[in-house]
Structure 1
């Protein structure tokens, strides 16, 4: 596994995954996505693991999107598809997945968090997809639908159309997170209690329940057949090129549409 993705197996029945790029607010690199894909494939066959906890290092972010420079080295639409396949692997895990969120949770970080079964967050955490103001790209439909399923359509529209970040208290009120706690220490305590409860539950009940929920999601969150041409229009257009240029230059983008 990459040093940017730390795997802790010290607690029996639990795997803890830490995104370890605090200097970049844990923005996901291609190597991190690849390591996650490999881990999900391994865990899919491991009945000894009951819970998977995901968290970010540093106290400032769960994960702040993707490492934008990686888009320059790949076909952007194919890269998004590859990332979505990783998310599909996470969603399909038989284990209960928990996102322990402390800080900013945006872009790719929010896609991972909403793919998890459960989310717990500190009061200072913020959630969103401010891509209309930053990169000028677009979400794949399954990622968008999952966000709407977790946060509700109203908050999802606010995140994407108004480029606003949603506070932890509003996320809790919407049911997107199951607990809003004061700080990292309280977050750790909440997650520990949650994990212990899951470890005491019937494995077959949890596994079958997840299968039932995946069947529901397969109906409501499937990408439309014309998805790729829509995304290619976005990623091949001038706004995304300007967004990437401005982001890497640390400038405000001048979008033209």
Structure 2
């Protein structure tokens, strides 16, 4: 039997989830998202859990995007919306959520990390949405807005418009990370101890306030679904998928032509 793609443990009020596909840089599959969604739904009513820790196996990535085959086997826009619903559940959890990042945190991995309360990372970690260089798709607006809330609008624009990754120092400088550490496990333990020593009442009330603010400021505009449908049925996404599967560099159209 193969190892499970999510390793979930619970001890002393802390649930730890390890994304366990190191051979694929922990890229998310639909099965992983399904398990994460079920976990988040369960945690909504769990007073015995104070902290949720998310991390990646292998020491090379927190999580590097999504498995492209899952988009090809479903309605891509509906799949994006389904993932976004999970991210909203994660953001709204009453528990304090911590992303412990070691390595690449890109695409779907960055979406998950930005929906956590706290992010810590090793100095070698890198962050971004390189989709302008790879797949030629687009993100749901609330995911873009969440990134802007965490990294700031200027850096979010640079990440998405150029496809460049951001290093840990830059992420820390804009407040997207609370700490950069060579000792990820020790720093994580200290952080968890601080949360566990604090008032759960304060933490849950604060999270409720911040979640309400995010819901108001980061909702999708009316055009978003139709725009995403056009993107996922367009030439650039088709070329991105072709090149990805062929392990080639995509050749995107240089001009976007409006329909007559």
TM-score, length-normalised on structure 1?
0.97
Deviations 1:65-116 (A, max 9, x none): 0001111100100000000011011011100000000000000000000000
Q: 1:171 deviation in Å? A: 0.4
2:214 to 201, 205, 217: 217
- Which residue does the alignment assign to 1:156? 156
Distance 2:212 2:45 in 1: 20
- Which residue does the alignment assign to 1:68? 68
Superposed counterparts of 1:227-242, under 5 Å: 227-242=224-239
Q: 1:26 deviation in Å? A: 0.1
- Which residue does the alignment assign to 1:3? 4
User: Secondary structure at the residue paired with 1:6?
Assistant: strand
Distance 1:207 1:111 in 2: 22
Distance 2:241 2:189 in 1: 39
Structure 1 runs, 4 residues or longer, greater than 4 Å off: none
- Which residue does the alignment assign to 2:104? 104
Q: 1:53 deviation in Å? A: 0.2
* Alpha carbons 1:59, 1:102 under 8 Å: kept: yes
Deviations 1:49-71 (A, max 9, x none): 00000000000000000001111
- Alignment pair present for 1:246 and 2:247: no
* Alpha carbons 1:69, 1:248 under 8 Å: kept: no
User: Secondary structure at the residue paired with 2:133?
Assistant: helix
Superposed counterparts of 1:149-188, under 5 Å: 149-182=149-182, 186-188=183-185
Distance 1:192 1:181 in 2: 12
Distance 1:4 1:246 in 2: 26
Query: Size of the alignment, in residue pairs?
Result: 252
CA RMSD, Structure 1 to Structure 2 (Å): 0.8
Unaligned 5+ segments in structure 2 are none
* Alpha carbons 1:107, 1:129 under 8 Å: kept: yes
